[in-house]
């Protein structure tokens, strides 16, 4: 990623491909904030060291078994969980690629594991501001399945009917994995990117991006948003 350009959207599937099997995790350079993004290529088995903070882990390719807190979770592409508090985990995989988003801020908390359920029941949530919309107001739903103790890091599932929104500043880092639908972003320098079902990507904090979805969208999200 070129940090000389403006904050924008980032293809995390492409980032995951930079990880090398048997090597240390690849680090995605970010512009500030208590957030770290890593990608690992996993084959065989091993252990990850204890890390401070809360970590959202999602499989970008292949299948991985993650054991933490006395439980083993088998995750296929798009499968995700959150490791809260300072804890490590054991893994076994056959040519899997995993992306992690770690929130290093906030108060320490007891170790725990939250498996993200993409089929979870959702409740109505807020829509984009009317002055930003081009066309009708969408119907949006959400279920936050993990929330850090300070309320600044959250992971869950969101869906929406189609909508077109003008460019707005993102106050947050947001990782997204599309379970259904597609969305097109245009950043402040005119770069355009379209992501579809099965794609993993993120929008940087302080990015100025528009949003256009012409079909229903469902996504897993992980957000760091300062209060």
pLDDT tens per residue, range 6-19: 999 999 999 999 99
The predicted structure's pLDDT at residue 173: 97
* Confidence band, pLDDT 50/70/90 cuts, at residue 179: very high
What is the number of residues in the chain?
227
Rounded to whole angstroms, the Cα distance separating 171 from 209 reads 11
What is the C-alpha separation between 218 and 139, in angstroms, rounded? Answer: 12
Q: Please, what is the average pLDDT of the chain?
A: 94
Is the predicted pLDDT of residue 1 greater than 60, yes or no? no
Strands in the chain per DSSP E: 9-11, 26-28, 35-51, 54-61, 64-68, 71-75, 80-84, 87-103, 112-115, 123-125, 140-147, 153-160, 163-169, 173-180, 182-187, 192-196, 200-203, 208-213, 217-224
pLDDT at 2: 62
- Could you give all domains of the chain from N- to C-terminal order, each with its CATH number? 9-115 (2.60.120.10), 123-224 (2.60.120.10)
Average pLDDT over residues 43-72: 93
pLDDT over 70 at 134, yes or no: yes
What local confidence, expressed as pLDDT, does residue 108 receive? 65
pLDDT > 90 in the chain, percent: 85
Mean pLDDT value across residues 105-109: 71
Phi, psi of 13 (to 5 degrees): -65, -40
Query: pLDDT confidence of 87, banded at 50, 70, 90?
Result: confident
Kindly report which listed range (63-67, 102-106, 145-149, 189-193) carries the lowest average pLDDT score: 102-106
Query: Per-residue pLDDT averaged across 178-202, rounded?
Result: 97
């Amino acid at each position: 990623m070129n940090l000389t350009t403006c904050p924008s959207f980032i293809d995390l599937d492409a980032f995951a491909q930079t990880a090398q099997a048997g090597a240390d995790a690849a680090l995605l350079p970010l512009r500030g904030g208590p957030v770290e993004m890593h990608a690992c290529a996993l084959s065989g088995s091993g252990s990850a060291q204890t890390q401070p903070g809360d970590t959202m882990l999602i499989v970008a390719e292949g299948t991985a078994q993650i054991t933490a807190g006395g439980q083993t979770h088998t995750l296929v592409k798009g499968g995700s969980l959150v490791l809260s508090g300072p804890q490590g985990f054991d893994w076994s995989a056959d040519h899997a690629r995993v992306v992690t988003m770690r929130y290093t801020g906030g108060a320490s908390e007891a170790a725990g594991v939250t498996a993200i359920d993409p089929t979870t029941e959702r409740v109505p949530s807020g829509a984009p501001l009317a002055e930003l919309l081009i066309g009708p107001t969408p119907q949006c739903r959400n279920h936050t399945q993990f929330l850090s103790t300070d309320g600044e890091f959250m992971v869950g599932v969101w869906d929406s009917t189609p909508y077109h929104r003008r460019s707005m500043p993102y106050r947050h880092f947001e990782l997204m994995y599309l379970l259904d639908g597609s969305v097109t972003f245009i950043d402040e320098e005119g770069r355009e990117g379209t992501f579809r079902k099965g794609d993993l990507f993120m929008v940087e904090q302080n990015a100025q991006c528009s949003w256009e979805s012409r079909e229903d969208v469902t996504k897993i999200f992980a957000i760091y948003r300062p209060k």
